[in-house]
Amino acid sequence: MLRQAPRFLLRRASAAAMRWSRPFSTDLPAETAGDSKFVDAWKKLIPNIDPPKTPSAYMAPRPPTPSTIPSKLTVNLVLPYDSVLSAKEVDMVIVPAATGQMGVLPGHVATITELKPGILSVHEGNDITKYFLSGGFAFVHANSIADIIAIEATPVDRIDQNLVQKGLAEFQQKLNSASTDVEKAEAQIGIDVYSALNAALTG
């Protein structure tokens, strides 16, 4: 029995070590002020049920604004069904803002822009990757992080010229035969998208 003792002690010690390697609750980052207010109010009124979690609990906090302008821009391009670029360090991006093409460099002023259908080009060193975006929003934060949220983004080399021409003709015909405002608006949207596609292919 004494021979088994060291093995037994070793197992106990390693189990204890494994237990203590988990972080204490005080070591974890503290919740933000708004969250604790919500949690306290919940606990007071509804003590029996645990309060629900909120989205900030699932997200890593963003880095604060640095004092000097960083050398690279961090880009996140997200679509509903995929994250095309996540935390990619690039030199410059040109986004198709509603007011025209907008270039974003590191240290750009914080901006919220609406996007119209057009080309997004990502410049990194000597590589330029172009995507056709269907529209969405772009946020540029003061800490040189750019979030671009679009519904669709396809690389430009995947677009078929013939289908674009056909689609443009079809929507122009729809605009001519449209009677209600809703139909006119829909046809106009179609024309906008297809002409942007056309311009993307030729330009």
Partner 1 sequence: MAMAALRRDGRRIAAPLITPHPINPLRSSLASSDREHTLLGVRSISTQVVRNRMKSVRNIQKITKAMKMVAASKLRAIQTKAENSCGLWQPFTALLGDTPSVDVKKNVIVTISSDKGLCGGINSTSVKISRGLHKLNAGPEKECKYVILGEKAKAQLVRDSKKDIELAFTELQKNPLNYTQVAVLADDILKNVEYDALRIVFNKFQSVVAFVPTTSTVLSPEVVEREAEAGGKLGELDSYEIEGGETKSEVLQNLTEFQFSCVMFNAMLENACSEQGARMSAMDSSSRNAGDMLDRLTLTYNRTRQASITTELIEIISGASALEG
Residues of this chain that bind partner 1 (CB under 8 A)? 32-35, 37-38, 41-42, 45-46, 49-56, 58-59, 62, 76, 78-83, 86, 97-99, 102, 109-116, 136-137, 139, 141-142, 145, 147, 149, 151
CB of 14 to partner 1, least distance (A): 26
End-to-end CA, the chain: 84
Q: Would you tell me how many other CB atoms lie within 10 Å of the CB of residue 164?
A: 20
CB of 92 to partner 1, least distance (A): 17
CB of 199 to partner 1, least distance (A): 18
CB of 198 to partner 1, least distance (A): 22
As a whole number of angstroms, the distance between CA 120 and CA 149 comes to: 12
Q: Would you tell me how many other CB atoms lie within 10 Å of the CB of residue 85?
A: 19
Query: Of the two residues 70 and 165, which places its CB atom closer to partner 1 in the complex?
Result: 70
As a whole number of angstroms, the distance between CA 162 and CA 198 comes to: 10
